[in-house]
Copies of this chain bind each other. A is one copy, B any other.
C-alpha cells in the first residue's frame, strides 16, 4: 500500500525508524491479547448473554491503537473510540476491570453505569468515549490546550473512524487544534465503512488524509495493518506534538473484519474485500516478520498465546464472580458529593 504525505508541511524527523526488538515482541503480545479478549467478548460472552447491549470489536484493526500507543508516557492521554481496545490495555487497564465493564459489574470503571468500550479513567489518562461520533475531537483539542497553558510536554492521541470525519464536531475540533497548535495526534481508523456506508458515500475525496490540507495540518497515510508503519508515523507525529508544532492527522488504511457490531453479518461487504484484508492480517504479518528476523520462535508464539488465554480465562472468572451494582446506585454520582 502506498504511503504518501499529503500536506506540504513535512513531519518532524521524516527519517523512518523501527521499535526496539523487545518492543516489537511486546507489540505482538498486545496485538494477540486484544484479539483474544475481543473474540472472547464477542464470540463467547455476548452469545452466552453475559454481555448485553451492543458489542463492537476492532478485529483486523488492532495494529492502529497498539502501534500508536505502545510508547506513550503514563501522563499522555488517549481518547479512544469504539474499536481501540488496545489503547485501554496499553494504558494499564486490567483485563478483569475491562470484562467487568462489559458485564455491567460494579467493579468496572463505570460501575455498571455505562457499557462496552464507553469507559474511561483519569488515573490511566483514558477519556471515556461517548457514542456521539466526533465529540471527542474538540475534547482532545481542549486537553492539548491545557497542556500548552501549563507548559507540559504531554500529548493526546485521539483515534476515530472514517465516518466520524463527517461530523461537524470533527471539523470544529481539528480546526481549533490547528489554530491553537495543540499537541494532538488525530488518528483515523479508515476501515472504509461507516456501518454499511462505504467511503465514497461519506466523502468526495479518496483519502481522509486529504482533509488535513483544510487545517494546515500534515496528513499522512499509512498501512494500518502494518503495526511498525503505524508506530513510526505515530512516533513522528508525537515528536512533532511534543515539540509544540501542533496536531497531525494520520490516516491508517485498514478494514473492519467483522460486521459493524455483533448483530451485523456485513452481508453488504463484498466477500473479496474480506479475503483481500484477511491476507493482510496485522498479527500474522508481525509474526512472520519477527520469525523471519529471528526475534521470536514459533514455540515462544505458542507459549505467548497460552499465557494470553489463561490470563483471559482467569479475568473472566473473576469478573463473572464480581458483584452487580446495587440498584440504588442508579441515583448516585450525578453530581459531586452524591
Tell me the chain A residues, 178-216 only, with Cβ under 8 Å from chain B. Answer: 178-179, 200-206, 210-211, 213-216
Q: Give bound CA distance, A201 to B156, whole Å.
A: 22
Residue among A206, A214, A215, A246 facing the most chain B CB atoms (10 A cut-off): A214
Could you tell me the distance in whole angstroms from the C-beta of A194 to the nearest C-beta in chain B?
A: 12
Copies of this chain: 2
Q: Which of B178, B204, B206, B213 contacts A217 (CB 8 A)?
A: B204
Could you tell me the distance in whole angstroms from the C-beta of A179 to the nearest C-beta in chain B?
A: 5
Chain B residues with CB below 8 A from A211, complex form: 214
- In the complex, whether A73 has a CB less than 8 A from a CB of chain B is no
Stretch of A54-62, A162-170, A253-261, A304-312 at the chain-chain interface = A162-170
Chain B residues with CB below 8 A from A213, complex form: 205, 210, 213-214
Could you tell me the distance in whole angstroms from the C-beta of A208 to the nearest C-beta in chain B?
A: 9
Cβ contact within 8 Å between B210 and A205: no
Q: Give bound CA distance, A216 to B205, whole Å.
A: 5
Cβ contact within 8 Å between A202 and B214: no
Chain A interface, number of residues (Cβ within 8 angstroms): 25
Q: Give bound CA distance, A111 to B213, whole Å.
A: 45
Q: Give bound CA distance, A145 to B217, whole Å.
A: 31
Q: Give bound CA distance, A171 to B202, whole Å.
A: 12
Tell me the chain A residues, 146-177 only, with Cβ under 8 Å from chain B. Answer: 166-172, 175
Residue among A166, A171, A200, A205 facing the most chain B CB atoms (10 A cut-off): A171
Could you tell me the distance in whole angstroms from the C-beta of A9 to the nearest C-beta in chain B?
A: 10
Could you tell me the distance in whole angstroms from the C-beta of A138 to the nearest C-beta in chain B?
A: 9
Using A166-B171, A205-B216 as known contacts, list a sample of 6 further A-B pairs with CB atoms less than 8 Å apart, ordered by residue number in A. Answer: A171-B172, A175-B203, A203-B215, A204-B216, A204-B217, A210-B216
